[in-house]
């Protein structure tokens, strides 16, 4: 391999040759980018299920993709399928993909309708607390292949692998809000290690349900500023009160630069560096001193061979929770120091909400678009700045500014942190 196709550590350079995305803003890269840079919000009142009596009644749901059954598996698969079709078309790849698949997918569990059906099939019992045993009995007495597939964690990736002809066993992962970035990292590592010339990296999450909403609400993680919905997500402001749960998906086609050039593919960006670190502080809270996030960002920069002054834009995790935004600011301050005031930092989540498992990949696509178009997406709803967070958040209106290197952060529940560095050019 020529040195022109190797990075600073002698590894194959990883190129992005295709992208696809779906969020509450719409389907496809063109529509999403137009809305995102236009400062449009995809947050709406929830109509999928009753919300009476709930403190949070808003979400960034995707209800415009047809699915055969109204459950999270079918929604997540449908979005992943559509974003992959878009990405492969952009990459100019038809037929079997012939590379590994790395999928970030939400945890799988039965919808309540399926649980009630199982309860009806279960033998009667007057013994309290034996619901799980009755569930197992019902499953053993009557085989239900469709239900079995619906609750398999790998069901979505198996269907994608069959549809697009990927090679080897598909990998399904879930690292909370860092999942999308982790899927990309696995694809990058597979190419760097010489195990493949191309990888299909997909992240999807269609799991907005009443139960999910209630769970996050019990963690005090969600915004309760329901009216108007589009004003609820307001990262880095003084009156932020939680994130807005949302759905979405993104696919990135990764190839070694050498393979991409050899087949005449257009290169949209370079996956230059990946960093990940664990946080042992708490199951849902981030370490207040930002130590793990600091280490994650520094690891990504080191992996990319870029110093603090080389980053032109940061796509923040920016969830709009009081604790996370403060922690992320402290982390960026520690890493970038005197450079930070001159680096634009904005949050896509101010418009699309938090797409959870899909977020890292969705925001990676938008980060590459930022470099391609010379347009920085704004942080909308930035009307009451937090005086303790001094950042150039590209407030409320997009900005024309050419950047050649972007950092994208994903800091998840369970202490799972990942950062990606993307560049416009290999060098």
Tell me the CB-side half-sphere exposure of residue 48, using CA atoms within 13 A.
24
Q: At what angle do helices 112-121 and 131-141 cross, to 10 degrees?
A: 80
Task: Give CA separation, 267 vs 209, 270, 273, in Å.
Answer: 38, 8, 17
Task: Return d(Cα 95, Cα 98) in angstroms, integer.
Answer: 9
Report the SS3 class of residue 14.
strand
Among candidate residues 221, 227, 226, the one with its CA nearest the CA of residue 241: 221
Active-site hit among 274, 282, 339, 354: 354
Detail the DSSP E strand segments found in 85-213: 101-104, 171-173, 198-205
Residue in the block written with tokens 């055969």: 68
Task: Give CA separation, 288 vs 173, 279, 292, 315, 407, in Å.
Answer: 27, 11, 10, 21, 21
Catalytic, 317? Answer yes
Contact by Cβ (8 Å): 172, 73: no
Catalytic, 274? Answer no
Cα dihedral value 261, 370, 276, 251, nearest 10: -60
Catalytic, 177? Answer yes
Instruction: Cis check for the bond before 228: say yes or no (omega within 30 of 0).
Output: yes
Contact by Cβ (8 Å): 377, 361: no
For residue 282, the tally of other CB atoms under 10 A from its CB is: 12
Among candidate residues 85, 89, 19, the one with its CA nearest the CA of residue 364: 19
- As a whole number of Å, the CA-based R_g of the chain is 21
Tell me the CB-side half-sphere exposure of residue 109, using CA atoms within 13 A.
8
What tokens were used for 14?
Answer: 């990883």
Contact by Cβ (8 Å): 325, 236: yes
Active-site hit among 8, 148, 177, 282: 177
Catalytic residues: 177, 317, 354
């Amino acid at each position: 391999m020529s040195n022109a196709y190797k990075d600073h550590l002698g590894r194959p350079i990883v190129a992005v040759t295709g992208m696809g995305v779906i969020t509450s803003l719409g389907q496809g890269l063109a529509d999403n980018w137009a809305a995102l840079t236009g400062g449009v919000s995809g947050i709406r009142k929830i109509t999928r299920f009753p919300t009476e009596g709930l403190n949070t009644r808003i979400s960034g749901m995707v209800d415009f993709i047809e699915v055969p059954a109204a459950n999270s598996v079918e929604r997540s698969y449908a979005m992943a399928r559509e974003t992959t079709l878009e990405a492969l078309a952009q990459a100019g790849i038809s037929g079997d993909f012939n590379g590994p698949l790395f999928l970030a997918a939400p945890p799988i569990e039965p919808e309540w309708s399926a649980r009630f059906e199982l309860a009806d099939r279960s033998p009667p019992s007057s013994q309290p607390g034996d619901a799980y045993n009755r569930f197992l009995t019902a499953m053993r007495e009557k085989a239900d292949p469709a239900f079995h597939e619906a609750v398999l964690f790998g069901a979505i990736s198996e269907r994608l692998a069959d549809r697009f002809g990927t090679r080897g066993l598909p990998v399904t992962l879930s690292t909370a809000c860092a999942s999308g970035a982790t899927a990309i990292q696995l694809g990058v590592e597979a190419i760097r290690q010489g195990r493949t010339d191309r990888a299909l990296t997909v992240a999807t999450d269609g799991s907005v349900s009443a139960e999910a909403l209630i769970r996050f609400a019990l963690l005090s993680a969600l915004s309760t500023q329901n009216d108007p919905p589009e004003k609820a997500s307001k990262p880095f402001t003084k009156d932020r009160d939680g994130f807005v749960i949302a759905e979405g998906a993104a696919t990135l086609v990764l190839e070694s630069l050498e393979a991409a050039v050899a087949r005449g593919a257009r290169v949209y960006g370079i996956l230059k560096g990946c960093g990940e670190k664990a946080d042992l502080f708490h199951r849902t809270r981030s370490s207040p001193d930002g130590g793990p996030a600091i280490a994650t960002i520094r690891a990504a920069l080191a992996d990319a061979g870029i110093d603090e002054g080389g980053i032109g834009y940061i796509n923040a995790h920016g969830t709009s929770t009081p604790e996370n935004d403060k922690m992320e600011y402290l982390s960026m301050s520690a890493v970038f120091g005197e450079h930070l005031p001159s680096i634009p930092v904005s949050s896509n989540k101010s418009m699309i909400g938090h797409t959870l498992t899909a977020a890292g990949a969705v925001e990676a696509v938008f980060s590459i678009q930022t470099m391609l178009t010379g347009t920085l997406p704004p942080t909308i709803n930035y009307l009451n700045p937090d005086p303790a967070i001094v950042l150039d958040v590209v407030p409320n209106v997009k900005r024309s500014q050419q950047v050649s290197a972007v950092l994208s952060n994903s800091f998840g529940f369970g202490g799972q942190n990942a950062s990606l560095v993307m560049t416009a050019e290999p060098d």
